[in-house]
Amino acid sequence: MRIIVCVKQVPDTTEVEIDPKTGTIIREGVPSMLNPFDEFALNEAIRIRGTGQIEIVALTMGPPQAEEALFKCLAIGADRAVLLSDRAFAGSDTWATSLALSRAIEAVGDYCAVFCGHQATDGDTAQVGPEIARQLGIPQMTYVEKVEELDGKSVTCLKETDEGYVRLKAKLPALVACISPSSFVPIIPKMGQILKAKKKTIEKWGADKVAKPGDKFGLDGSPTQVVKTYPPPKKKGGGVKISDPPDAAVRKLVEYLRKEGLVR
């Protein structure tokens, strides 16, 4: 039995810059990291498998440098890592991405669950997890904050909602899309784990390894197109700054709010 964890390498910055000519994210010179939601999903997979005989496979689709994210997964505790990389995948929208990932999941085979993050911090669509479940024809649980139980037949999860929590149970195989709670403390791999990970080989698969007849990936297989990407216009004025000593500042602030009709 296997848990396949889908992970994405994302820019390690909140200052994402857009190339004004191409409308794409500038990735050159920007440090990368493992998407935080995916790191939590991997931690949940490791925690819930306990000492059982479940193999954990980290899977990413991305450029060759996405290997770094997979290496981190191996160091954290994944048993295997698969990098899906091919020019045929370039320009994939979320649907084409989820098709490629689903095909890779089928090629890995013998999975009892697919874990992924709720969303990637760069693309931010939160579509890939549910789309994978749709492509594989398996049940899905989203907004999962805790995987409570995984036995041979089902998985039970705690899902966050606006009102609190809901406990859900699904037949296996199922997809679990995780959000990370604020209390989440990432595992820092020990030196021994890093050295062990270095001895492992990251499996590199191209489109020919996973494609089924009629599959379309990349731009060809993408029903949506990004028409334009641009940052929001910079705000003019930048607000009002009051830098008087505290008592005078409070008086000035109240005067200002009254003048603007925001308080009476």
Ligand X SMILES: Cc1cc2nc3c(=O)[nH]c(=O)nc-3n(C[C@H](O)[C@H](O)[C@H](O)COP(=O)(O)OP(=O)(O)OC[C@H]3O[C@@H](n4cnc5c(N)ncnc54)[C@H](O)[C@@H]3O)c2cc1C
Interface residue list for ligand X (CB under 6 A)? 6-8, 35, 37-38, 59-62, 90-94, 97, 101, 116-117, 119-120, 122-129, 222, 224-226
Using DSSP, state whether 192 is helix, strand or coil: helix
Which helix or strand (DSSP H or E) is residue 5 part of?
Answer: strand 2-6
Residue nearest to ligand X (CB): 123
> In DSSP terms, which residues pair with 247 in a beta bridge?
none
Report, in Å, the least distance between residue 84 CB and ligand X. 7
Check if the beta carbon of residue 184 is closer than 8 Å to that of residue 117. Answer: no
Report, in Å, the least distance between residue 160 CB and ligand X. 16
Q: How many CA atoms lie within 13 A of 40 on its CB side?
A: 22
Report, in Å, the least distance between residue 96 CB and ligand X. 7
CA distance 1 to 56: 9
Comparing CB distances to ligand X, the nearer of 151 and 220 is 220
The side-by-side arrangement of strands in the sheet containing 111-117 is 165-171, 154-160, 140-150, 174-178, 111-117, 2-6, 55-61, 80-84, 203-205
DSSP for residue 234: P
Comparing CB distances to ligand X, the nearer of 7 and 197 is 7
CA distance 14 to 24: 16
Comparing CB distances to ligand X, the nearer of 123 and 196 is 123
Question: Residue 233 corresponds to which tokens in the numbers above?
Answer: 């216009």
Report, in Å, the least distance between residue 116 CB and ligand X. 3
Comparing CB distances to ligand X, the nearer of 116 and 150 is 116
DSSP for residue 111: E
Which helix or strand (DSSP H or E) is residue 37 part of?
Answer: helix 36-49
Report, in Å, the least distance between residue 24 CB and ligand X. 7
Alpha-carbon dihedral angle through residues 45, 48, 53, 56, given to the nearest 10 degrees: 0
Q: Which amino acid is at 75?
A: A
Comparing CB distances to ligand X, the nearer of 87 and 251 is 87
Q: How many CA atoms lie within 13 A of 46 on its CB side?
A: 17
Report, in Å, the least distance between residue 171 CB and ligand X. 22
Comparing CB distances to ligand X, the nearer of 119 and 189 is 119
Comparing CB distances to ligand X, the nearer of 125 and 241 is 125
